[in-house]
Amino acid sequence: MSDIRRRAVYSRIMTTLDGEYVPSTMEWVRDQIDLYERSGGREGNTLRDSGIPVIVVTMRGAKTGAVRKIALMRVEHDGAYALVASKGGHDSNPDWYRNLTVHPEEVLVQDGPDPFPVTVREVDGNEYDTWWERSVAVFPTYLEYRAKTARRIPILVAEPR
Ligand code: F42
């Protein structure tokens, strides 16, 4: 492959995932993602009227292989992002948790005008505690979600590639 072709393929991989985009079945999430993407992150960038910023995460479905998107709270530190699989304190992990653990390299984060590629990994131990504190500092409601469920809320960290 020529350098020019390789660069073209690489830059395409950098900002999109190939495949059919199948939007979330949750209307308010789907609408928020649409608005965020259409406006390049200028609108739809907070959780409802809370004023707390959100990001958009694009991934590959673990079973269907479809392109999936979610909105999440923006918990950023030194260019990395915590993806907190809280699902409102529900007793099961969100579907996206499995997607990200099965396809950790096929992930984009959008925090502003353009999405960029990240690698995702689950954190544990002291690293978990540190990211949990950062997450609660941004969105204290995570404490209520933790109190509601017996499961340990997973935290994945997304690092730019
Ligand atoms: N959710 C969080 O868990 N944490 C947050 O911090 C958070 C913040 C947030 C802010 C704004 C906002 O608009 C939404 C926010 N949400 C937050 C909600 C989040 O965006 C998700 O909607 C929520 O966590 C539920 O995720 P879910 O993946 O469980 O979504 C379900 C309801 C859903 O829509 N599923 C799709 C569907 O069609 O039913 C996709 C299913 C899917 O991904 N399937 C995979 C596939 O292969 O295509 C297979 C999955 C498997 O289990 O193997």
Phi (first) and psi of residue 113, to 5 degrees: -65, -35
CB distance 94 to ligand 1 below 6 Å: yes
Instruction: Report pLDDT digits (tens) over 36-88.
Output: 999 999 999 999 989 999 999 999 999 999 999 999 999 999 999 999 999 99
Distance from the alpha carbon of residue 93 to the mean position of ligand 1, in angstroms:
9
Distance from the alpha carbon of residue 139 to the mean position of ligand 1, in angstroms:
18
pLDDT (0 to 100) of residue 49: 86
Whole-number Å distance between alpha carbons of 95 and 85: 9
Distance from the alpha carbon of residue 72 to the mean position of ligand 1, in angstroms:
9
Comparison of pLDDT for 9 and 131, the residue scoring more: 131
Cα dihedral sign, 67-87-135-103: negative
| Cβ neighbourhood burial of 76 (10 Å; 0-12, 13-18, 19+) | middle
Domains of the chain are: 3-160 (2.30.110.10)
- Structure tokens, 12: 């395409």
CB distance 50 to ligand 1 below 6 Å: no
Taking residue 25's Cβ as centre, other Cβ atoms within 10 Å add up to: 8
Residue labelled with tokens 């004023």: 51
Q: Is 161 helix (H, G, I), strand (E, B) or coil?
A: coil
pLDDT (0 to 100) of residue 77: 98
- Nearest residue (by CA) to ligand 1, atom 5, is 72
Record the pTM: 0.93
Residue % of the chain over a pLDDT of 70: 91
pLDDT (0 to 100) of residue 152: 98
The mean pLDDT value for 25-36 works out to 97
pLDDT at 5 over 70: no
Residue % of the chain over a pLDDT of 90: 89
- Nearest residue (by CA) to ligand 1, atom 42, is 95
Which residues make Cβ contacts (< 8 Å) with residue 143, sequence separation at least 6? 136
Comparison of pLDDT for 117 and 1, the residue scoring more: 117
Which residues make Cβ contacts (< 8 Å) with residue 15, sequence separation at least 6? 108, 114, 115, 116, 117
